[in-house]
């Protein structure tokens, strides 16, 4: 479909209010709106095309199985991977937990260390703490620089041969700061550590090639990629994935079951117990197609320009404190003097502007910044300068209300 010929209303139905007015949606970092092509693909999968996968011998089941595995292939291709390397999960959170409870339990022990950073999402903190409580591994925390990037110079000083894993966000969900991935991977390799990258905020914004950057694990979610909720992906190097034990037991992940012994299917099926999220996988594949069609270079340039304009407009207001680097990827976090972010978010909602207000599942970073919460405006393919203008108008109204 040539999306350039479609109106905004036709292409992005979620951006139009019931009265036909424009909704200024600036919460894409939390979850992206869905293009009509993704909605249509899921509706067909749920309706006229619907059948189970992998089990049926009838024609529609075979067709749906082909479509399901084609979706895996599309999602894998988005990050430069092969379909056999990509596991469907319920989201990035489950993907990190899967790595912690399979690879982590099998390979880490008391005395080993994991390096995280100060800006990580809770989903890249709590699973490792659960692993620590189970195995006795230790967790170290790399600081961030003054402009909100993971301090790789500090990471280099902190890393030792005892470190077996480095787990960093590719793009911060609060600050939009982009990790220098090649440098981070090199630092991990220097001490013989594996590296996991949280790609939730990166896959929809910048081009990713997991083999080129030499990551060991890469995780992301569909709903931040203009796809549905309830599904995400874990990519791992084939030799690592093949050696990982299963996590959940049940149908679809087995080779043969007897009461005496069970043998398991090869990866990725070994990690996908039970009936999969069929419709969601179709939507995930459609979203990957959509983003690929638009072009990640185009998306990144568009969002970079919007971030620059938003930061310029906010810097002109003496009541606003900005966080993060000037070249953040699609995300602008800020605080307004004398106004709690929740109050600001409420008033902006009255003006038809949707932002995120809170700790963004990054409480350790909030502690570092010295604030309980921030306001966060985040952009997507569908964002434009009218969204920034509406944000500024809403902030000006908030200033008048609070005096």
Contacts of 141 (CB under 8 A, 6+ apart): 115, 116, 117, 118, 364
Cα–Cα distance measured from residue 74 to residue 381, given in angstroms and rounded to the nearest whole number: 19
First-last CA distance in the chain: 50
Instruction: Tell me if 51 sits within 8 A of 63, measured CB to CB.
Output: yes
Q: Is 200 a catalytic residue?
A: no
The residue from 51, 254, 361, 392 that is catalytic is 361
Contacts of 218 (CB under 8 A, 6+ apart): 79, 196, 197, 199, 208, 210, 234, 235, 236
Exposed/middle/buried for residue 156 (C-beta within 10 Å: 0-12, 13-18, 19+):
middle
Quote the tokens at residue 187: 């630092």
Return the H-helix or E-strand segment holding 77.
helix 59-78
Cα–Cα distance measured from residue 241 to residue 272, given in angstroms and rounded to the nearest whole number: 13
Cα–Cα distance measured from residue 35 to residue 380, given in angstroms and rounded to the nearest whole number: 11
Helical pair 36-46 and 278-294, crossing angle rounded to 10 deg:
150
Quote the tokens at residue 229: 């909720």
Closest CA to 54 of 200, 258, 254: 254
Q: Name residue 321's beta-bridge partners.
A: 335
Quote the tokens at residue 349: 């909602």
Closest CA to 184 of 172, 171, 173, 168: 168
3-state secondary structure of 256: strand
Instruction: Tell me if 195 sits within 8 A of 184, measured CB to CB.
Output: yes
Instruction: Tell me if 286 sits within 8 A of 70, measured CB to CB.
Output: no
Cα–Cα distance measured from residue 195 to residue 210, given in angstroms and rounded to the nearest whole number: 11
Quote the tokens at residue 314: 């906010």
Instruction: Tell me if 263 sits within 8 A of 256, measured CB to CB.
Output: yes
Quote the tokens at residue 151: 């301090």
Catalytic positions: 361
């Amino acid at each position: 479909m040539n999306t350039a010929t479609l109106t905004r209303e036709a292409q992005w139905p979620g951006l139009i209010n019931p009265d036909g007015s424009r909704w200024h949606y600036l919460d894409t970092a939390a979850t992206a709106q869905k293009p009509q092509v993704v909605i249509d693909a899921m509706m067909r999968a749920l309706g006229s095309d619907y059948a189970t996968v992998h089990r049926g011998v009838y024609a529609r089941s075979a067709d749906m199985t082909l479509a399901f595995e084609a979706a895996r292939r599309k999602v894998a291709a988005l990050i430069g991977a092969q379909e056999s390397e990509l596991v469907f999960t319920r989201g990035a959170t489950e993907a990190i937990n899967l790595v912690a409870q399979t690879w982590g339990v099998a390979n880490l022990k008391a005395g080993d260390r994991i390096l995280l950073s100060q800006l990580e999402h809770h989903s890249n903190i709590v699973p490792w703490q659960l692993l620590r409580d189970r195995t006795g591994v230790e967790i170290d925390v790399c600081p961030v620089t003054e402009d909100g990037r993971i301090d790789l110079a500090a990471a280099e000083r902190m890393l030792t041969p005892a470190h077996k894993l480095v787990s960093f966000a590719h793009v911060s969900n609060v600050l939009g700061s982009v990790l220098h991935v090649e440098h981070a991977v090199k630092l991990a390799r220097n001490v013989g550590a594996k590296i996991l990258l949280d790609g939730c905020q990166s896959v929809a914004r910048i081009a990713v090639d997991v083999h080129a950057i030499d990551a060991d694990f890469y995780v992301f979610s569909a709903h931040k990629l203009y796809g549905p909720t309830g599904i995400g992906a874990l990519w791992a190097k084939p030799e690592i994935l093949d050696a990982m034990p299963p996590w959940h037991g049940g149908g679809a992940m087995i080779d043969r079951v007897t009461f005496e012994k069970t043998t398991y299917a090869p990866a990725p099926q070994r990690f996908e117990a039970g009936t999969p999220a069929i419709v969601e996988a179709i939507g995930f594949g459609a979203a990957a197609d959509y983003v690929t069609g638009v072009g990640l270079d185009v998306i990144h340039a568009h969002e970079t320009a919007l971030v620059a304009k938003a930061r310029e407009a906010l810097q002109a207001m003496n009541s606003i404190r900005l966080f993060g680097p000037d070249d953040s990827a699609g995300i602008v976090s800020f605080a307004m003097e004398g106004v709690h972010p929740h109050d600001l978010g409420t008033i902006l909602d009255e003006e038809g502007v949707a932002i995120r207000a809170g700790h963004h599942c990054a409480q350790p970073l909030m502690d570092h910044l010295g604030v309980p919460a921030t306001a966060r405006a985040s952009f997507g393919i569908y964002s434009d300068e009218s969204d920034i203008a509406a944000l500024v108008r809403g902030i000006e109204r908030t200033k008048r209300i609070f005096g």
